[in-house]
Amino acid sequence: SVQCFGKKKTATAVAHCKQGQGLIKVNGQPISLVQPEILRFKVYEPVLILGLDKFGMRLPILPERQQKSNGCKRAWDTRTEDGSGDIARSWDLFRVSGGGHTSQVYAIRQAIAKSIKFVDEHSKNQLKQALVAYDRTLLVADNRRCEPKKFGGKGARSRFQKSYR
């Protein structure tokens, strides 16, 4: 098992990657509870880039619009087709703290990508190249921060209007 962390602004996520059924949980809850849907897909990006077949997974159950019609709420099932789950990995993000919703999701996807890279030492460089080619922030932290406000204006760079008379 591998333990990695991801950061975005003040959000920190710790991923624990181990052999299992391929379920992704955030603070003990399934990833299907993440709203909106676009942020949920961001978490799955590292796995989808490298291919679900490498992890013994099949495509997650997506029909949320259909679920609204019949009223049932299902968690995302990413187990193997035969249900064995011996190749599949399980990421249990047992700690995500700080930041907002978007920052936390970006921290989670970075933690997952880093843990995938360290699971298989033989294909480590190939995995790294594939992830960096898609999005560099999957493996490298984004060091941009909000600039602090200064006096003489209402923001970090804007100034109050100058009057000559």
Q: What is the mean pLDDT of residues 47-74?
A: 54
pLDDT at 117 over 60: yes
Q: What is the pLDDT of residue 35?
A: 78
| The CA-based dihedral angle spanning residues 15, 19, 22, 23, taken in that order and rounded to the nearest 10 degrees | -50
Nearest to 11 by CA among 148, 106, 128: 106
Model confidence pLDDT, tens digit, residues 5-53: 999 999 999 988 777 777 778 888 887 787 788 888 888 888 888 776 6
CATH topology of domain 2-138: Ribosomal Protein S5; domain 2 (3.30.230)
Q: How many residues does the chain have?
A: 165
Task: For the chain, give every domain's residue range.
Answer: 2-138
pLDDT at 64 over 50: no
Query: Residue 7: how many CB atoms within 10 A of its CB?
Result: 18
In this structure, of 22-26, 69-73, 140-144, the range with the lowest mean pLDDT score is 69-73
Cα–Cα–Cα angle for 1, 135, 30, nearest 5°? Answer: 45
